[in-house]
Structure 1
Amino acid sequence: MDHKKLPKVPFYKVVLKTKQILNNPLPFHRENFAKFGDSFMVDLPRKGDVIFTRDAAFVQYMLQKNHRNYGKSRLQTEELAKYLGKGLLTINKDHWLRQRRLIQPAFHKKKIEGLLAIINKTIEEQLAEITIEKPIEAWDLMGDLAFNVVARSLFSYYDKKGKVARIKHITDSNQEMLVKELRQPFKKWWFHLKGDFRRASKNTKEVRAILEEMIETRRTSETEYDDLLDMLLQAEYEDGSHMSNEQLIDEILVLFTAGHETTANALSFALLLLAKHPEIQEQVWTEINALASGIDHMEIIKRLPYTKQCLEETMRLYPPAYFTDRINFEADEFNGLKIRKGSEILISFYEIHRAPEFWDEPEQFNPDRFLPENKKSRSGYYFPFGAGPRLCIGNGFAIYEMVLVLKHIIEQYEISTSLSSIEIKPMITLKPEQSTLTFKKR
């Protein structure tokens, strides 16, 4: 069947639900998946037909088995690239492969292990002044923590002048602008008229100027930091050339943005889930409390398998990268579905992670799903960091950091929440709408 024959949601139905889609498009997706099955199309102006899918086999095919024919769509290569530049997240084909080969060594397991001391120190400092026995927003706390972990461990940068905080503020603001653009493409004229695009462009230039200054300061420094920035400055392409400042800024901006936000989201959801399930929180505390003293950070991580399972189950229920996009470079066919060249395809990891055919009681928080013996069976329908060659380059870094954060928090505090339910706020990544927690000393 040609993809033209897929069930189609007409544009007027999108317009009628504009407000709902702007706030949270996931119920709209779920409603149409329930009505039409695992794949359907939406008619969008100037984009044409966009395919939405939660077909796990089709996703595996695109991301792994035939990945060479599927790259990031204009959603990332153009729209997101306006704000983040042409880095690993937003490029395709030879350019992506060249950059991935250059940057990959910085995220080798041994390299990350060497950063664990500074990651741990940063976590300790950030968590030293938690407000006790008063409600606070976990996302604010985790957002600042994760941003500083990236700044210090990857770039040895201490934010004495508030510049890293400024980068965070601008990237958050630009994300909100991008979400409005993507969910209301027919209102771009209004965003132009209001000056929204002009402000976003000015903010992006400011961020790039801050990063340029950071790079130039490092180039003239006689100190060797042995961090990611040193590695990127020294890294050579096959022809012996180095990255330009512009390309360096693009990669750093992607690492700052993607490297902190997804982690902050996952940690916020994990803390909310543990607060709502005190019996599971108690199991995590028991595991942490059994740790021997004097062991190194890597050994601590290895001895906290249940804590890691809680994070894995969190990312099943609330995958930070809850969707991704692909475009096919050449016409293709999968299970009888003919896919025209240049088709834009949106993949819902959120739906796959909650599909009852893959998960028993999928809405329940159950870390035991991720016992080691179950790992192989779930690989075809669990995508917290994507899959295939474009698997998130920082996945190991993120897991190590998150285990250490939970270890520090649960070791010292009992956490509770007054929230009756966990509500979501889908932006470019999946955030909690509220993340109110109370910390009580153990």
Structure 2
Amino acid sequence: MADRATTFLAPAPAHSGLAPVPGDPGLPYLGYALQTIRDPVGHYRRRYDRHGPVSWGNFLGRPMVSVQGPDAAQVVLGNREKAFASGPAWNFFIGPFFERGIMLLDFEEHLRHRRIMQQAFTRDRLAAYLRRIDAGAGHTVADWRPGRRRMLPLFRRLTLDMAIDVFLGLELDRRETRRVERAFVDAVRAGLAVVRFPVPGLRWSRGLRARAALVDFFAGHIPAKRAQGGDDLFSVLCAARSEDGERFTDADVVNHMIFVLMAAHDTSTIALTTMAYYLARHPEWQERCREESRSLGAGPVDSAALESLPTLDLVLRESLRLCPPVPLLPRIAVRDTSVLGHHIPAGTLVSVTTFSNHRLADYWPDPERFDPERFSPDRRSAITHPYAWFPFGGGVHKCIGLHFADLQVKAVMHRLLRAHRWSVPAGYTWDLDMSTLPVPKDGLPVTLHPYG
């Protein structure tokens, strides 16, 4: 296999002591894309058993090196040698639809933009966002009808409504809200399209139309935001300046708003849906969480109040281990480099496989089992590597909104626990759609029971 790999990846320089990356191309054009989409855990486990932590296979027409294990993840995501870039890699997947979002920038440009964006995620601003999130969650969740409901669309609508309120500060009618939601869904789903050019009616074409609609939507609101200001993220990005007085152009604001709103909407939806799934399957954990939420009371919550819900924190961490919202973190090698003794030529697409990393038995005993106590103070010391668990990425590209996401998810789940119990039939297991980000194919049907 090593000999076959060198016909697709440049061999290591003579006397470098580096090994070629083992692997094989897989199917013509598709490579291993179907296996990655249908069963990422099983596929990468087989690759790991066969080739070790670094291997390659084709993916939608180009070779992709996949790295597994915390040591390999740390090399690529930690990126101490600045050998890997995020932007060109994500551009392959979502660039036409989320152009120049913060995750698609690198090095000095990324640092400049991140410093300006950080003004939207200060402690005071997060506290203001949380007040609006908590109020919105309390009203919305209480209105959910008892009976058979699908949790994925409920959470998706709730998180989008929150994002429009907290991030945009706009009052949109229901029709316009749904148009924005549809555009985000189409843009995200286009990222793993097999046909990667605009055939009418297919994913790529729908994604490009969605991008154009979102650009028009945000650009149309910029003049008022610049003139009137406000405490929402949209207004903050319009007004924010660096220490040198640099501020975002209109195009910068549009690009960042499209990306941040997508990230906040989709990743929080997935985290909430995953928690709801495991709490339905493990009602003893649901009751533990509910008891803490009951003790906290019905009043408004702040960050200190949410920190007093330790069981909810354990459940969130374990849910993010079992179903990280972003299953692959791609990078491009910008120069010849190496990962764990394997030669990585410049221009190589490299992917850190979050789903399989979070289930490696060497670091997670009984990895398929839902066991929130893994993250308890008594057992947390057994997590021996900083890159054993990285649902928010790592290095300089670690999610800028991770603290916002933590507050949002916990606040919503706290309100849900106080308003409802929910259950699934005995033996129910979900089937994940991995064609973009991981979501249950059936929308996670549960039975909601009023509580309180």
3-state DSSP class of the match of 1:89?
A: helix
In structure 2, relative to structure 1, the CA distance for the partners of 1:17 and 1:195 (3 Å cut) is: closer
Q: For 1:228-264, what per-residue CA distance to the aligned partner results, in whole angstroms no more than 9, with x for missing partners?
A: 2222111123542321111100000011101110000
Aligned equivalent of 1:367, options 359, 369, 372: 372
Give the equivalent residue in structure 2 for 1:431: 439
Aligned equivalent of 1:83, options 83, 91, 97: 97
In structure 2, relative to structure 1, the CA distance for the partners of 1:18 and 1:150 (3 Å cut) is: closer
Q: Distance in 2 between matches of 1:198 and 1:429?
A: 19
Give the equivalent residue in structure 2 for 1:7: 22
- Mean CA deviation greater in 20-29 or 76-85: 20-29
What is the CA-CA distance between 1:34 and the residue it aligns to?
Answer: 2.9
Pairs within 5 Å for 1:173-322: 173-180=186-193, 184=194, 187-188=195-196, 192=199, 197-221=204-228, 224-292=229-297, 296-322=301-327
- Mean CA deviation greater in 31-40 or 51-60: 31-40
Aligned equivalent of 1:406, options 404, 410, 413: 413
- Mean CA deviation greater in 297-306 or 368-377: 368-377
Q: Distance in 2 between matches of 1:294 and 1:45?
A: 51
Q: Distance in 1 between matches of 2:359 and 2:323?
A: 10
Q: Would you say the 8 A contact 1:102–1:237 is kept in 2?
A: yes
Structure that is richer in helix per residue: 1
- Mean CA deviation greater in 369-378 or 81-90: 369-378
Q: Distance in 1 between matches of 2:287 and 2:409?
A: 18
Give the equivalent residue in structure 1 for 2:178: 165
Q: Distance in 2 between matches of 1:198 and 1:290?
A: 51
What is the CA-CA distance between 1:168 and the residue it aligns to?
Answer: 1.5
Partner amino acid, structure 2, of 1:358: Y
In structure 2, relative to structure 1, the CA distance for the partners of 1:293 and 1:129 (3 Å cut) is: closer
Give the equivalent residue in structure 1 for 2:132: 118
Give the equivalent residue in structure 1 for 2:157: 144
Partner amino acid, structure 2, of 1:149: M
Aligned equivalent of 2:74, options 60, 69, 83: 60
Give the equivalent residue in structure 2 for 1:339: 344
In structure 2, relative to structure 1, the CA distance for the partners of 1:380 and 1:175 (3 Å cut) is: closer
Partner amino acid, structure 2, of 1:173: D
Pairs within 5 Å for 1:24-43: 24-43=39-58
In structure 2, relative to structure 1, the CA distance for the partners of 1:203 and 1:335 (3 Å cut) is: closer
In structure 2, relative to structure 1, the CA distance for the partners of 1:336 and 1:46 (3 Å cut) is: same
Partner amino acid, structure 1, of 2:437: T
In structure 2, relative to structure 1, the CA distance for the partners of 1:204 and 1:307 (3 Å cut) is: same
- Mean CA deviation greater in 249-258 or 278-287: 278-287
Q: Distance in 2 between matches of 1:405 and 1:292?
A: 14
**Between the two proteins, what is the percent identity of the paired residues?**
20
- Mean CA deviation greater in 234-243 or 146-155: 234-243
What is the CA-CA distance between 1:292 and the residue it aligns to?
Answer: 4.9
Q: Would you say the 8 A contact 1:385–1:395 is kept in 2?
A: yes
Unaligned runs of 5+ in 1: none
In structure 2, relative to structure 1, the CA distance for the partners of 1:356 and 1:42 (3 Å cut) is: same
Q: Would you say the 8 A contact 1:8–1:43 is kept in 2?
A: no
Give the equivalent residue in structure 2 for 1:100: 114
What is the CA-CA distance between 1:285 and the residue it aligns to?
Answer: 1.2
Unaligned runs of 5+ in 2: 1-10, 13-17
- Mean CA deviation greater in 26-35 or 398-407: 26-35
Aligned equivalent of 1:395, options 402, 407, 427: 402
Give the equivalent residue in structure 1 for 2:3: none
In structure 2, relative to structure 1, the CA distance for the partners of 1:70 and 1:167 (3 Å cut) is: same
Q: Distance in 2 between matches of 1:347 and 1:16?
A: 17
Q: Distance in 2 between matches of 1:245 and 1:122?
A: 29
Q: Distance in 2 between matches of 1:295 and 1:161?
A: 27
What is the CA-CA distance between 1:407 and the residue it aligns to?
Answer: 0.8
- Mean CA deviation greater in 167-176 or 290-299: 290-299
Q: Distance in 1 between matches of 2:149 and 2:298?
A: 31
What is the CA-CA distance between 1:159 and the residue it aligns to?
Answer: 2.1
In structure 2, relative to structure 1, the CA distance for the partners of 1:252 and 1:366 (3 Å cut) is: same
Partner amino acid, structure 2, of 1:407: H
In structure 2, relative to structure 1, the CA distance for the partners of 1:76 and 1:162 (3 Å cut) is: same
Q: Distance in 2 between matches of 1:291 and 1:412?
A: 14
Q: For 1:142-169, what per-residue CA distance to the aligned partner results, in whole angstroms no more than 9, with x for missing partners?
A: 1111111121112222322633321221
Give the equivalent residue in structure 1 for 2:15: none
Q: Would you say the 8 A contact 1:77–1:91 is kept in 2?
A: no
In structure 2, relative to structure 1, the CA distance for the partners of 1:372 and 1:206 (3 Å cut) is: same
Q: For 1:113-138, what per-residue CA distance to the aligned partner results, in whole angstroms no more than 9, with x for missing partners?
A: 122111111112322321202x2111
In structure 2, relative to structure 1, the CA distance for the partners of 1:67 and 1:350 (3 Å cut) is: farther
In structure 2, relative to structure 1, the CA distance for the partners of 1:72 and 1:367 (3 Å cut) is: same
Q: For 1:201-222, what per-residue CA distance to the aligned partner results, in whole angstroms no more than 9, with x for missing partners?
A: 233211111111122232343x
Q: For 1:250-279, what per-residue CA distance to the aligned partner results, in whole angstroms no more than 9, with x for missing partners?
A: 000011101110000010011011000011
- Mean CA deviation greater in 332-341 or 272-281: 332-341
Q: Distance in 2 between matches of 1:371 and 1:212?
A: 46
Q: Would you say the 8 A contact 2:70–2:387 is kept in 1?
A: yes
3-state DSSP class of the match of 1:82?
A: coil
3-state DSSP class of the match of 1:162?
A: helix
Q: Distance in 2 between matches of 1:212 and 1:376?
A: 48
Q: Would you say the 8 A contact 1:80–1:90 is kept in 2?
A: no
